[in-house]
Amino acid sequence: MLGQVWYSSVPNAYLINVSTSGPYGPQQDFAPPFDTSDRRSFATPFDLYRYGDTSIPGSGCNATDGCNHIILGTQRVWESINGGLISWSIKTGDLTKNNLIVGSDSRSYINQVHYAVSDPSIAMVATMDGNIQYVFDLGGSGAATPVDVTGGNAVLPNRPMTDVATDPTTPLIGYAAVGGFSAGTPSTPGHVMQITCSARCASFAWVDKTGNLPDIPADSVIVNPHIPHQVFVGTDWGLYYTDDIRAASPVWQRFETLPHAMVWSMVIDRGFTTLAAFTRSRGAWVWPLPTAAPGSADLEVKFNGPGGPIEPGRPLHYTLTVTNYGPDAASNVLLSSTLPAGVTFGANSGDCRSAFPCSFASIPSGASQVVDTTVCVSAHYSGPNPIVLQGAASSDLTDPAGTNNNASANVPLFTDWVFGNGFEGCP
């Protein structure tokens, strides 16, 4: 069956068909057993996880059946771990706000759902009514665990979320494509948003990566697995890309060979060789994916933080060390550190005197860069305890062990600090 399973669907998922003998073989309906409570978009989204190693059990793919983990979104997430051919399970409850109601018609539904590229137990969900959710613990027999990372739309615009994508090696870095126009949410503009989560998204932070993109709906987003800081965005006016999503305000360029048409969906193949873009009315287009600079650099980030609890209102000091264990010098290295709400950046010292992200032109094989950081924990801090501090590094070269590019530490706070006298040093 490997390589011979083909999926197709019709609007509203009234039929979702599968052929197990290639694209021209007989088809059978494999849709989940929807009931009257399931709200389905016109283009009901489903995603087949296709990046697993067929030699590793639990990777989502095997040598006999191929890749057989598939998820589908209504207002909730359904999953099948047998390619939809035998059974489906309801993995979550309603992940929408359920507030886009016209008469008796609720248009609060999931617009897109995608597995994380590197982990079939994690997915991201985008809803029509402005929600983004991470879903953990997929692939098992029980319910999955959704985590709402919308953040009350304080940063994420409260407009249709049209697509989501994860960083290829770090699932807890994700992207959202945002529809509509910034004038509709003037206090929260933007069309491409990036999220960085702590473990299981216990804390998270959104940043606007729209840069110089025009104020037009963004319909799709995807990341180059070879170059994780290269991101593609499909809009109502064609395809754009940036070569450095790490920049505070990325510079986006338009794919001038593509028609000025809506790019509603993009896909990267299992072998990471080709980007496919699907337009409205102007067909499907493909390009070879750019590959990373030659060589490889295995970056490792280590976190050295306070040895014990700290008091609110005091400065907090920690050290990030990025080491290159790869065979080649890492070029254009960026080291960043994400702070939760209520904790503000103070200063860096050591090998970097600027604010994050710290930039290093090169880190030779076996060498390290050390950054000493001071942040301020507000005397009125009321967020999660312990505080989660994070560091992450990337470079232009391929990283064969991307899981050690991130580090974090939990810093507990005294909850009964009775000696505060107003002179703690942080407001």
- For residue 2, what pLDDT is reported? 58
pLDDT for position 422: 46
Region of 379 (left: φ > 0; alpha: ψ -120 to 50; beta: rest) is alpha
Q: Residue 165's closest CA among 98, 218, 213? A: 218
Helix, strand or coil, per DSSP, at residue 153: helix
Taking the C-alpha atoms of residue 52 and residue 104, their distance in angstroms, rounded to an integer, is: 42
pLDDT, position 178: 98
Domain with CATH 2.60.40.1510 in the chain: 295-411
What pLDDT, on a 0 to 100 scale, did the predictor assign at position 30? Answer: 83
Instruction: Give the distance, in angstroms, between the CA of residue 407 and the centroid of all CA atoms in the same chain.
Output: 17
- Distance from C-alpha of 56 to C-alpha of 24, rounded to nearest angstrom: 30
By C-alpha distance, which of 220, 124, 138, 216 is closest to 167?
124
Q: What pLDDT sits at residue 416?
A: 61
Q: What is the pLDDT of residue 419?
A: 46
Residue recorded with tokens 């490997």 = 2
CA–CA distance, 22 with 20 (Å, rounded to integer)? 6
Q: Considering only the top CATH level, what class is 6-293?
A: mainly beta
Place of tokens 């050390």: 370
Structure token pair of residue 326:
């790869």
pLDDT of residue 237: 95
pLDDT of residue 88: 95
Element (H, E) at 391: strand 387-394
- Rounded CA-CA distance 190/193 in Å is 7
Give the residue range(s) of CATH 2.130.10.10 domains in the chain: 6-293
Strand pairing class (397-398; 293-296): parallel
Question: What does the pLDDT look like over 234-275, one tens digit per residue?
Answer: 999 999 999 889 888 999 999 988 889 999 999 999 999 999
* Burial (Cβ within 10 Å: 0-12, 13-18, ≥19) of residue 151: middle
Supply 250's token pair: 């990325």
> pLDDT at position 397, please?
82
Show pLDDT as tens, one digit a residue, over the chain (427 residues). 456 888 888 888 777 888 888 888 888 888 899 998 899 998 899 999 999 999 888 899 988 888 999 999 999 999 999 988 889 999 999 999 999 988 878 899 999 999 999 999 999 999 999 999 999 999 998 999 999 999 999 999 999 999 999 999 899 999 999 999 999 999 999 999 999 999 999 999 999 999 999 999 999 999 999 888 899 999 999 999 998 898 889 999 999 888 899 999 999 999 999 999 999 989 999 999 988 777 788 899 999 988 778 888 888 899 999 999 988 899 889 999 988 888 889 999 999 998 888 999 999 999 999 999 999 888 888 888 888 888 999 888 877 777 788 888 888 888 665 444 444 567 5
Alpha carbon distance, N-terminus to C-terminus of the chain: 63
Task: Return the C-alpha torsion angle 96, 97, 100, 104, nearest 10.
Answer: 80
Q: What is the CATH number of domain 295-411?
A: 2.60.40.1510
Eight-class DSSP state of 199: G
